[in-house]
Chains A and B, each alone.
Chain A
Amino acid sequence: SYELTQPPSVSVSPGQTARITCSGNELPRHYTYWYQQKPGQAPLLVIYKDTERPSGIPERFSGSSSGTTATLTISGVQAEDEADYYCQSADSSGPSVIFGGGTKLTVL
């Protein structure tokens, strides 16, 4: 079955740039979306349509996509950005929604 693959963890120091990748064979055909989830909270949309940022999301969050890999970039990471991040896209065979396994971002 189709899967989206994310690294389990990424660690960065405050002020550095964090890059979280999401890989999947169908990503060239469908948009990627990114969510931030803090403990005990619901996921929060931070990027939609590969690169678009919802209102209220800080400019340090950006997204890109090339071939079979989408990337969430957080520039100038802050302590408050420590959270789990999930990518989401579509599986054409369903069609159905599919999520990546999640990446835990640790701010050192």
Chain B
Amino acid sequence: QVQLQESGPGLVTPSETLSLTCSVSGVSINNSPYYWGWIRQSPGKGLEWIANIHYSGRTFYNPSLRSRVTISVDTSQNQFSLILTSVAATDTAVYFCAREVVPADIPGVYNWFDPWGQGILVTVSS
């Protein structure tokens, strides 16, 4: 079955750059109709979508985070990654990676996420 696993540092210093990777197993990122996305959840808060990417390089970003976010894909490693620059305490959150299921008749970013990774807690603190 399809599984996703986030990895990266659990602690990041304010103003520095956060880098996370999502490793995908059970399906090849390459040559598949899916998009791959990052979603975060601040402690005790709701879900906030960050960005999606297709293996072709097509991307979608949350406009409120766009200036600080880069999403990329490494098909050779079957992974995709997130970079968030100039982090602050408000970026402290559990970061989830997930697969966006894309039916043939609906374009990317309009669809549901399934499955999700278990999430990784990232704390921004000095």
Contacts and interface: CB of A to CB of B under 8 A. Distances in A.
A45 B46 CA distance: 15
A96 B49 CA distance: 8
Contacts, number: 68
Interface in A31-70: 31, 33, 35, 41-45, 48-49, 54
A90 interface: yes
A96 B62 contact: yes
A94 B118 contact: no
A42 B96 contact: yes
Among A35, A42, A48, A49, max chain B CB count under 10 A is at: A42
A98 B61 CA distance: 11
A30 B118 CA distance: 27
Contacts of B61: 96
Contacts of B96: 42-43
Given A42-B116, A86-B47, A94 B63 contact: yes
Interface in B79-126: 96, 101, 106, 109-119
B109 A42 contact: no
B52 interface: yes
Contact of A94 (B48, B60, B111): B60
B46 A94 contact: no
B110 A31 contact: yes
A43 B112 contact: no
Contacts of A102: 46-47
Contacts of A42: 96, 115-119
Contacts of B106: 31
B48 A88 contact: no
Contacts of B116: 42-44
Interface in A6-45: 30-31, 33, 35, 41-45
A47 to B, nearest CB: 9
B66 to A, nearest CB: 9
Given A44-B116, A94-B63, 5 more contacts: A33-B112, A48-B101, A88-B47, A88-B113, A99-B47
Q: Considering the complex of A and B, which 5 residue pairs feature the smallest CB-CB distances, nearest first?
A: A97-B49, A42-B116, A33-B112, A99-B47, A45-B114
